[in-house]
């Protein structure tokens, strides 16, 4: 009998569905806030996101199905014992995060963040000319599920979209040009908007630094809804303060919560949301996570191939 620990907010109907898939399993239901190290170490299967530090290479754990699309915290040595299967929920967040990033992009292009600042001070002001995405060049760095959905939104309103990814493939619908991530330095000077959806891996750490921001147009906007570690925050602050780029928005930070004394909070051309584009804020996201988790749980019990299985050497799905 396998012990299954579920760290997802399931309905009674969903619990019944799950238990029907694993009739010979014992189920424990909890939340991220309430889960204990003892529960984690007793589990053979976990559905959800235990804190990496609580797992401690548990000898009992055989399969971890994350509720997150990124697995960077779980591929580090000492978190999972060798042989543990690890899967992400890539594909669950495409709608929620791409729409949030698209909203941030429009807020920058139309200077809505400046007018919100004025509203809090009861100022009836005018911040001058604004831009448009129609006819703009938008570089989407990280063309996974989320990045591709964002690319299609930008393309739909008339932007010229350049997608960047690790491996070359056929150019997908909604993308006008496809480049390798290694070609980023050639693309940045062309872009009016740069939006990053990069995962947190050794190869993406501080990819956006002083040198990369310097390659961008002084009128360009930068948006990050991938991982905060891909951005050097100090370099971003310098770029904003010195007019190297026009403005930036981010839903993720290298350190979260962002410390109250971090200068990005007070940078007038910076728009910050506190990592809320994903999670369960959009109901459809949880539904997607449940479907991926249940499907993989059933496949694992049958010894069948798993969706979104993570390669521990790259941090990406296989």
Q: Domain ranges in the chain?
A: 3-92+281-302, 94-272
Q: Which value, in Å, is the radius of gyration of the alpha carbons in the chain?
A: 21
Classified as helix, coil or strand, 109 is helix
The burial of 97, by beta-carbon neighbours within 10 Å (0-12 exposed, 13-18 middle, 19 or more buried), is given as buried
Instruction: Check if CATH label 3.40.50.720 holds for domain 94-272.
Output: yes
Which pLDDT score, from 0 to 100, does residue 103 have?
98
Q: Which residues are catalytic?
A: 227, 256, 275
Closest CA to 227 of 258, 250, 211, 246: 250
**List of the chain residues with pLDDT < 70:** none
Structure tokens that stand for 206 in this block: 């501080």
Instruction: Check if CATH label 2.60.40.10 holds for domain 3-92+281-302.
Output: no
Which pLDDT score, from 0 to 100, does residue 205 have?
97
Range list of H helices, the chain: 12-21, 37-42, 52-55, 94-109, 112-120, 145-156, 184-187, 210-215, 233-241, 283-302
User: Rounded distance, CA 211 to CA 196, Å?
Assistant: 16
173, 152 Cβ separation under 8 angstroms: yes
220, 192 Cβ separation under 8 angstroms: yes
Summary count for the chain: helices (H), strands (E): 10, 12
Which pLDDT score, from 0 to 100, does residue 96 have?
98
| Fold agreement (3-92+281-302, 94-272) | yes
Closest CA to 159 of 175, 141, 143, 173: 175
Rounded to the nearest 5°, which phi and psi values hold at 179? -130, 165
For residue 162, what are the β-bridge partners?
139, 177
Structure tokens that stand for 102 in this block: 């698209």
Question: How much is the pTM?
Answer: 0.93
Which pLDDT score, from 0 to 100, does residue 315 have?
86
38, 80 Cβ separation under 8 angstroms: no
């Amino acid at each position: 009998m396998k012990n299954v620990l579920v760290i997802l907010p399931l309905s009674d109907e969903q619990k019944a569905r799950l238990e029907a898939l694993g009739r010979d399993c014992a189920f424990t239901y909890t939340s991220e806030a309430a889960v204990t190290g003892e529960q984690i170490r007793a589990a053979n299967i976990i559905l959800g996101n235990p804190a990496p530090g609580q797992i401690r290479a548990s000898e009992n754990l055989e399969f971890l199905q994350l509720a997150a699309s990124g697995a960077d915290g779980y591929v580090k040595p000492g978190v999972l014992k060798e042989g543990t299967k690890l899967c992400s929920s890539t594909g669950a967040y495409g709608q929620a995060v791409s729409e949030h990033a698209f909203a941030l992009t429009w807020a920058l292009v139309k200077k809505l963040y400046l007018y919100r600042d004025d509203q809090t001070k009861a100022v009836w002001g005018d911040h001058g000319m604004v831009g448009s995405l129609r006819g703009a060049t938008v570089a989407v760095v990280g063309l996974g599920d989320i990045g591709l959905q964002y690319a299609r939104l930008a393309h739909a309103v008339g932007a010229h979209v350049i997608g960047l990814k690790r491996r070359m493939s056929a150019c997908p619908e909604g993308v006008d040009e496809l480049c390798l991530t290694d070609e980023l330095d050639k693309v940045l000077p062309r872009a009016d908007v740069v939006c990053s959806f990069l995962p947190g891996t050794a190869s993406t750490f501080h990819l956006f630094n002083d040198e990369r921001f310097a390659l961008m147009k002084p009128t360009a906007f930068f948006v990050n809804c991938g991982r905060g570690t891909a951005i050097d925050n100090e370099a971003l602050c310098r770029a904003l303060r010195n007019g190297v780029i026009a403005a930036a928005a981010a839903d993720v930070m290298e350190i979260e919560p962002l410390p109250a004394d971090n200068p990005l909070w007070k940078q007038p051309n910076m728009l910050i949301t506190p990592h809320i584009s994903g999670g369960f804020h959009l109901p459809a996201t949880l539904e997607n996570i449940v479907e991926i988790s249940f499907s993989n749980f059933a496949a694992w019990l049958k010894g069948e191939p798993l969706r979104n299985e993570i390669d521990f050497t790259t941090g990406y799905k296989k």
